[in-house]
Amino acid sequence: MQTANPEKPFIAFEYFPPRTEQGVTNLYERFDRMRQQNPLYMDVTWGAGGSTSELTVELCKQITQKYGQVANMHLTCTNMPKEKVDQALADSKEIGIQNIVALRGDPPAGQEGWEAVEGGFACALDLVKYIVSKYGDHFCISVAGYPEGHPNRIKEVVDRELTEDEQTRSVTMDDKVFVCSDQDYKEELDYLKQKVDAGASFIITQMFFDTNVYKKFCADCKAHGINVPVIPGIMQLGNYGGFKRMTGFCKTRVPKEISDRLETIKDDEDAVKAMGIELGIQTCKDLLAAGAPGLHFYTLNLEKTTYAIMDAMGLKVAEAEAGEKENENTTAGTRIEATA
């Protein structure tokens, strides 16, 4: 089994299935380069409603069989017939993928909401229970965690004062204040505990830009009886427009000092990228100092920013060392064991 080294935090890379053949070719080349960093796992997302199911499985197959790495495959279950889930799990077992990120999933393009198809799944908990019932402990299952609350539960605050806890995760957008209420946040933790109790081995968080939110979320998880590793998902600031769209869509809390600084350089692309690297380095340092077991990088199918952050922190493997570490994950096994 592949395990985290307490003396040196692990790193993991997440990718999404490209839309073009050239994009797929480019991604395979990136797999070949980035595997030399000896990641704990390489993670591939699953399109809404199974729209990328065949490509996601194929990418994970190549990660496992061609590039000798541990694949962690996303699997969403809503808007998708049970037969498609069954096929994905059967294919995964056959080709040696033993790690599944069990998710509800977003609605397919053009739909405002999601829905369970007849005979299908209503939520990620259903999927976790189903995988365990069909395959026992064959798959290592991870699930999503939302330190600020799920975006669907982050709502505008009207005619009331925020509690002390709510203030730590509130977000201001367009002069309005939004927050996942204390009651909704508790229900989120209740649900997360159900997923873990049903068989999830670790949690990967939604992106965040306030590290205090992650620290409090970890403490709240422990107080709630959730004792599996909570791996922080690191989203990097690459360009102003993308950052604003992403944080707006997810209702992500952005510390005022970050927001203010970004506004002063938003028209300078190079300055924004440099700030993104600087912010990523500080974020990762703060997370590791707080006890994060490792770092899950949302790469957006790119590598330069991730490498710059890793290099500044002494986590990047030099080319000379990379050759010696080739296939290290393969000999260690294909299940992920991320220790807290």
Of the pLDDT bands very low, low, confident and very high (cuts 50, 70, 90), residue 332 is very low
Question: How is 218-244 classified by DSSP, letter by letter?
Answer: HHHHHHTT--S-EEPEEE----HHHHH
- What lies within 8 Å, CB to CB, of 338 at 6+ separation is 3, 4, 10, 40, 201, 202, 229, 231, 293, 294
Of the pLDDT bands very low, low, confident and very high (cuts 50, 70, 90), residue 117 is low
Buried b / exposed e over 49-60, threshold 16 CB at 10 Å, is bbbbbebbbbbb
- Residue bearing tokens 């991730």: 306
pLDDT higher at 149 or 47: 149
pTM (predicted TM-score): 0.91
Does pLDDT of 327 surpass 50? no
pLDDT of residue 309: 97
Which CATH number is 8-337's, of 3.40.50.970, 3.20.20.220, 3.30.110.40, 1.20.140.10? 3.20.20.220
| Residue 328: other Cβ atoms inside 10 A | 13
Question: Across residues 33-38, what is the average pLDDT?
Answer: 96
| Residue 118: other Cβ atoms inside 10 A | 7
- Give the span between the Cα atoms of 226 and 236, in whole angstroms: 27
Strand 176-180 with 154-156, pairing: antiparallel
pLDDT higher at 105 or 335: 335
On whether the CB atoms of residues 5 and 34 are closer than 8 A, the answer is no
pLDDT of residue 1: 36
Mean pLDDT of the chain: 89
Of the pLDDT bands very low, low, confident and very high (cuts 50, 70, 90), residue 256 is very high
pLDDT of residue 318: 84
pLDDT higher at 327 or 62: 62
pLDDT of residue 329: 46
pLDDT of residue 171: 95
pLDDT higher at 277 or 104: 277
- What is the rounded radius of gyration, in angstroms, for the C-alpha atoms of the chain? 19
On whether the CB atoms of residues 232 and 288 are closer than 8 A, the answer is no
**At 56, which amino acid appears?**
T
pLDDT (tens digit per residue) in 39-87:
999 999 997 666 778 999 999 999 999 999 999 999 998 777 889 899 9
- Give the span between the Cα atoms of 244 and 85, in whole angstroms: 34
pLDDT of residue 113: 57
**Percentage of the chain surpassing pLDDT 90?**
77
Q: Where are the beta strands (DSSP E) in the chain?
A: 2-3, 10-15, 42-44, 71-76, 99-103, 140-145, 154-156, 171-173, 176-180, 200-205, 230-231, 233-235, 294-298, 336-337
pLDDT of residue 51: 72
Question: Across residues 206-226, what is the average pLDDT?
Answer: 97
Of the pLDDT bands very low, low, confident and very high (cuts 50, 70, 90), residue 114 is low
- Give the span between the Cα atoms of 202 and 141, in whole angstroms: 7
pLDDT (tens digit per residue) in 160-212:
999 999 999 999 998 899 999 999 999 999 999 999 999 999 999 999 999 99
pLDDT (tens digit per residue) in 123-142:
999 999 999 999 999 999 99
| Helices and strands (H and E) in the chain: how many | 13, 14
Specify the DSSP class assigned to residue 254: -
pLDDT of residue 326: 54
Does pLDDT of 339 surpass 90? no
pLDDT of residue 323: 54
> Which residues are known catalytic residues?
14
Q: Which has the minimum average pLDDT: 27-36, 191-200, 313-322?
A: 313-322
Cα separation of the two ends of the chain: 15
On whether the CB atoms of residues 3 and 339 are closer than 8 A, the answer is yes
pLDDT of residue 50: 64
- Residue bearing tokens 């997440």: 14
Question: How is 276-291 classified by DSSP, letter by letter?
Answer: HHHHHHHHHHHHHHTT
Does pLDDT of 292 surpass 90? yes
Domain ranges of the chain: 8-337
Token duo for residue 252: 């992500």
On whether the CB atoms of residues 151 and 107 are closer than 8 A, the answer is no
Token duo for residue 106: 């977003």
Buried b / exposed e over 122-136, threshold 16 CB at 10 Å, is ebbbbbbbbbbeebe
- Give the span between the Cα atoms of 259 and 102, in whole angstroms: 33
Question: Across residues 226-239, what is the average pLDDT?
Answer: 95
